[in-house]
Chain A
Amino acid sequence: MTTLSDPPRESFRLSMLVNDTRYRSYTFQFIALVCVAALFAYLGSNLVANLRAAGLNISYDFLGDPSGYDINQTLIDYTSQSSHLRASIAGLLNTLLVSILACITATIIGVAAGVLRLSNNWLVSKLMAVYVEMFRNVPVLIWIIIIFTIMTAVAPAPSAFRGDDPDASMLFGMFAFTNRGVYIPKPLFEPLGWVVLGVFLISIVGAILYRRYATKVLYDEGRLLPTTWPTVAIVLVPAILAYFILGRPIALEIPELGGFNFSGGITLLGSLIALWFALAIYTGAFIAENVRAGIQSVSRGQTEAAAALGLRPRRIMNLVVLPQALRVIVPPLISHYLNITKNSSLAIAVGYMDLTGTLGGITLNQTGRAIETILLLMLFYLLISLSISAIMNVYNNAVRLKER
C-alpha cells in the first residue's frame, strides 16, 4: 500500500543556484574555476601557437647532448664531454652544498646572536643589535659582492707565495689563504685509517648512549652524572689511541704551490666561501630575531619558577626556556632555510656554478632552450624547497607543544 506519501520533494530549480545560499557559493566557485582554467588554456594555446609560428618546439632532447663547457667545482665526475643533464646535476649538488653549509652556519650564528641580544651586558646586546640591523637591512646580493671583493682585493694571489722570500706564507705551513680560495690539507686514509675513522664514529654513538644513560639515571634516581668531560673523553680518547696504536695510518696531503695555482689538498673556492658566508651572516641576522622573539615569548614566570627551584641561569636557558621557545622559532626557521636555498641562486654574481649557473646559465645560453631550461630549473628548486619543508615539518612536529 502506498498510502504513505513521500515527504514533499523539494524540486530543484535552476534559480536556486544563485538565490539559495546552500548552492550559491558552489556556483561562484565553479565560475571562478572555469575562468582560471580558461585563462590557463588561453595562455597555453597562445604559447604553443606562437612557438609554432616562430618555428620552435618544446623538447628536452638537449639534456642528453654533450655540454661542452667545464665547471670549476664539481662534486661528481664531470668533464666537458658529459651531458647537459650531468652538468645540471653537478650544479644542483653545488646548490645543495652551499645551502646546507649556509643553513648550518646561519643557525649557529643566529642562535648565538639571538641569545646574546637578550644579554644583560649592555655592550654585547648593543653589538648584536648593530649586527642584526646592519645585515638584515642590506640586500644579500650586496653582501655577497662585498665579501667576494674584499677576499679578492685583500688576500694575496697565489704568486705571492712564491720565491725564497715570499710576500705571503701559509698558516702553520698547511693552510693557504689566497684571493682564489682557501687551500686546506686533505686527509689521506690508508686501509688502517678507515679503522680509526670507524672507531671515531662508534665513539660518537657511545657518547650519545652515555648521555641517554645519564638522563635516565637523573630521572630514575635523581642522581646527576657529569656529562661534559666524559663525552669529550669517550669521543676522542679511543680514536687517538687507535691512531697511534695502528701506526698513524692517516696522513695529510698538504697543498703545494705548483705552476699557476696550489695543487693537492682541498680547495675551497673563493666564490663558495663568499656565497656561504654572505648567506649565513645575512640569514643569521633574521634567525637571531626569531630566536629573540621565541625566547621572549616564554613567559617570565617560567624563568622565575625555574630560578626558584634553584636552577642556574644557563640551565634555565637550556632546560626551560629554549625547549619552549623552539615551537615559536622553528616554523619561521623553515622559511629562512628556504630563503637560503633560493638566495643561493645569486651565485653567478661571484661565478659560483650552482644550478642557476649551469642549467639556467650556460646550458640555457648554449642550447637556446629558454622555456625548457627555466621550467626545469623551477622544478628543481621546487623539489629542493619541498624536501626542506618536509624534513623541517617532521622536526617541527617533534618540538611543538604536545597536547595531551
Chain B
Amino acid sequence: MQKSVILGTLTAAALSAGAASAQTLSDVQDRGTLNCGVTTGLVGFAAPDADGEWSGFDVAVCRAVAAAVLEDQNAIEFVPTTGKTRFTALASGEIDMLARNTTWTFSRDVDLKFEFTGINYYDGQGFMIPKSLGVSSARELAGATVCIQTGTTTELNLADYFRRNNMDYEPVPIETNAEAQQQYLAGACDVYTTDASGLAATRAAFETPSDHVILPEIISKEPLGPLVRHGDNDWGDVVRWTLNALIAAEEYGITSANIDELKAGTESPEINRILGTEGNLGEMLGLDAEWAYRAIKANGNYGEIFAKNIGESTPIGLSRGLNAQWTDGGLLYAPPFR
C-alpha cells in the first residue's frame, strides 16, 4: 500500500514535470482553448455568474490573452484554484497562466520558477472588522482572533506585523474566501485579513456591508499580477504584452467603443503600432497583426475593465488610487510599443 502511494506520487511528479516544457503558445493554439487559473470565487475579480459564465477583473486578463492568441475570448477553460493549489497547477502544466490575485514576490519569482508578467493591481493587506467592536486602528487588535486564507503571503505579513508591534493574536487558517466569510460572519473570528481589494469584494457580498469597516492600515505591498511558468519566454512575452496593451490602450485613449474607428488609421504611430496597422509587432510575438486589437476589443482597455468590475460605480467600489495611469499620479506604466 505504502509502496503504491510512493509510486503514484513519483508518477504524478514525473509526469507533471514532463508536461511543464516550453512551447506553451503552440500548445494553446493546437488545443484551441486557454487553460486559465483563477480563484474559486471572489466577486469582482473572478466569479462565475448564475449561468456559469466567469467574469471579473482577473478573468478579463484571461479573456484578453485568449482573444489575442485564439481570436476568441470565450475559448477558455477556467480552472478554479485555491491559495494552496495554484502554484502546483501552474508548475504541472494543468493551467497555461494564472490570473488569480497572486502577489509578486522574490521567492515565487526566483525559487518557485515562475515568471510574473506584470502587475494588474497594486494592492496591500488590510483588516476588516465588525463596526460593533469599536476598533478604529489595527494597533488595537492585540489578542484578536484573525481569520486568514492559508497558503498566501497574508499569513507571513500578519505574523510580521503583529510581531513588529508586540501584539499577540490567534490565527484561524481557512482554505477559501467563502469559508472565511462564513467564519467571520458567525463571529468565530474578530477580524478578517486579506488584500484590501479582496476585503472590499468580500464586504460587498455581505447582507449589510455597512456593519463592517476596513481599517485604515495597509500592512504590506501586494503587487498582484498574472504569471506563467519560468523558461517559456515566448509565452511569457505574449501574456506580458497583452497586459501592457490593455494598460497602454487606456493611456492612449483606445476604448472598446472607438477601437474600430482608430483601426482605420490614426495620426499617432504608437496607436497604429498597437493596433497593427503599422510595423510588425504581432509577428515578433508569433501572432498576427491584430492580436492587440482583439485583446482590447474583448473587454475594453484597462480602465474600462477596472470600472466595469471593481470600480467606484460597482458594489465593490474601489477607487483607482495607485492603479491610476502614471499620467494621473498612479503606478501604471506600460513600456513603449516599439
Interface, chain A (partner B; CB < 8 A): 40, 43-44, 46-47, 50-51, 53-56, 68-72, 79-81, 152-153, 157, 159, 179-180, 258-261, 263, 270-271, 348-349, 351, 353, 357, 361-362, 364-368, 370-371, 374-375, 378, 382
A179-B14 in contact given A72-B170, A348-B173 (Cβ < 8 Å):
no
Nearest 5 CB-CB pairings of A with B: A50-B17, A157-B187, A80-B159, A365-B151, A368-B112
Determine whether the beta carbon of A70 is less than 8 Å from that of B159.
yes
Q: Which residues of B contact A371 (CB under 8 A)?
A: 9, 13
Q: How far is the CB of A116 from chain B (nearest CB, A)?
A: 34
A152-B13 in contact given A55-B113, A351-B173 (Cβ < 8 Å):
no
A374-B9 in contact given A54-B113, A368-B108, A368-B111 (Cβ < 8 Å):
yes
Which of B17, B160, B187 is A47 in contact with, Cβ under 8 Å?
B17
Stretch binding the partner chain, chosen from B47-55, B84-92, B316-324 = B84-92
Which of B160, B174, B183, B187 is A80 in contact with, Cβ under 8 Å?
B160
Q: Which residues of B contact A54 (CB under 8 A)?
A: 17, 20, 91, 113, 231
Q: Which residues of B contact A43 (CB under 8 A)?
A: 7, 10-11, 14
Q: Mark B170-203, 1 if CB is under 8 A from A, else 0.
A: 1111110000000100111110000000000000
What is the chain A residue whose CB lies nearest that of B147? A351
Chain B CB within 10 Å, residue with most, of A258, A271, A362 = A362
Which of A50, A53, A179, A370 is B187 in contact with, Cβ under 8 Å?
A179
Determine whether the beta carbon of A68 is less than 8 Å from that of B231.
no
* B132-153 at interface with A (beta carbon < 8 Å): 132-133, 141-145, 150-152
Q: Which residues of B contact A258 (CB under 8 A)?
A: 143
What is the chain B residue whose CB lies nearest that of A370? B88
Q: Which residues of A contact B111 (CB under 8 A)?
A: 367-368
Determine whether the beta carbon of A261 is less than 8 Å from that of B183.
no
A157 to B183, CA, bound (A): 11
Chain B CB within 10 Å, residue with most, of A43, A367, A378 = A43
Determine whether the beta carbon of A361 is less than 8 Å from that of B145.
no
Q: Is B5 an interface residue (CB 8 A)?
A: yes
CB<8 Å pairs between A and B, sample of 30: A47-B13, A55-B113, A55-B230, A56-B17, A69-B171, A70-B155, A70-B158, A71-B171, A72-B172, A80-B159, A152-B183, A159-B187, A179-B186, A179-B188, A180-B170, A259-B142, A260-B133, A260-B145, A261-B144, A261-B170, A348-B150, A348-B175, A361-B151, A364-B84, A368-B107, A368-B111, A368-B112, A378-B2, A378-B5, A378-B9
Q: Which residues of A contact B183 (CB under 8 A)?
A: 152
Q: Which residues of A contact B169 (CB under 8 A)?
A: 70
Determine whether the beta carbon of B187 is less than 8 Å from that of A365.
no
Determine whether the beta carbon of A51 is less than 8 Å from that of B17.
yes
What is the chain A residue whose CB lies nearest that of B188? A152
Determine whether the beta carbon of B143 is less than 8 Å from that of A50.
no
Q: Which residues of B contact A361 (CB under 8 A)?
A: 84, 150-151, 173
What is the chain A residue whose CB lies nearest that of B141? A260
What is the chain A residue whose CB lies nearest that of B87? A368
Q: How far is the CB of B230 from chain A (nearest CB, A)?
A: 7
Q: Which residues of B contact A382 (CB under 8 A)?
A: 2
A179 to B189, CA, bound (A): 9
A180-B108 in contact given A43-B11, A261-B170, A378-B6 (Cβ < 8 Å):
no
What is the chain B residue whose CB lies nearest that of A271? B172
Determine whether the beta carbon of B14 is less than 8 Å from that of A261.
no
Q: Which residues of B contact A365 (CB under 8 A)?
A: 83-84, 87, 150-152
Q: How far is the CB of B244 from chain A (nearest CB, A)?
A: 26
Q: Which residues of B contact A374 (CB under 8 A)?
A: 9
Q: Which residues of B contact A349 (CB under 8 A)?
A: 175
Q: Is B336 an interface residue (CB 8 A)?
A: no
Q: Which residues of A contact B18 (CB under 8 A)?
A: 46, 50
